[in-house]
Amino acid sequence: MPPLYVLISGAIGLVTAMAIIYLIRRDHLHIRYALNWIIIAIAIALFGINPQIIDYLSDQLGISYPPILAVVMAVCFMLLKLLLNDIQLSRQERQLIRLTQRLGMLEADRDTQVLPAGRKKN
């Protein structure tokens, strides 16, 4: 019977993976973003079942407190993801502005200028 921590982290990894698949099926999460989360699910399962990997890596890198390596790796991963999010946000904002401008150009050209109803804030 494997140690408890192996079972727990293995279970968490598995449940995460299943949750991602479910979210994709229901179109709550687009597949493009799911890749990020599947990697996390795999990492949880992998490092949970084999914590020796962290010990080995710490040894190689000269880190005296192995658990912090896992934390540092997680933080780096999150920072990178945040940056990618901001880049994505910038792109979408630009698209939204261009689109709104195009719509404005259309609406400015109506022969009878009737301003759209409900343009005031609620």
Partner 1 sequence: MMPDKSLLVVIPAMNEAATIAAIVAKLRAQGRDVLVVDDGSTDNTADIALQQGARVMPLVNNMGAWNATQAGIRYALQHAYQNVVCMDADGQHCPDAIAGMLNYSQQQQADVVIAAFPARGGLAKKVTWTFFKRLSGLNINDLTSGFRLYRLPAMQELARTRATMLDYQDVGVLLILQNAGLRIAEMETTMQQRRDGKSRIFSSWLKILYYLWYTTLLCFSKRTPIK
Q: Is 108 in the site for partner 1 (CB under 8 A)?
A: yes
Rounded to 5°, angle at Cα 51 from 46 and 56:
110
Q: Is 107 in the site for partner 1 (CB under 8 A)?
A: yes
Distances (CA, A) of 1 to 6, 14, 89, 110: 10, 18, 47, 75
Closer of 81 and 91 to partner 1 (Cβ): 91
Name the residue with tokens 């109803």: 117
Q: Which of 42, 83, 88, 94 binds partner 1 (CB under 8 A)?
A: 94
Q: Is 105 in the site for partner 1 (CB under 8 A)?
A: yes
Binding footprint of partner 1, residue count (CB under 8 A): 20
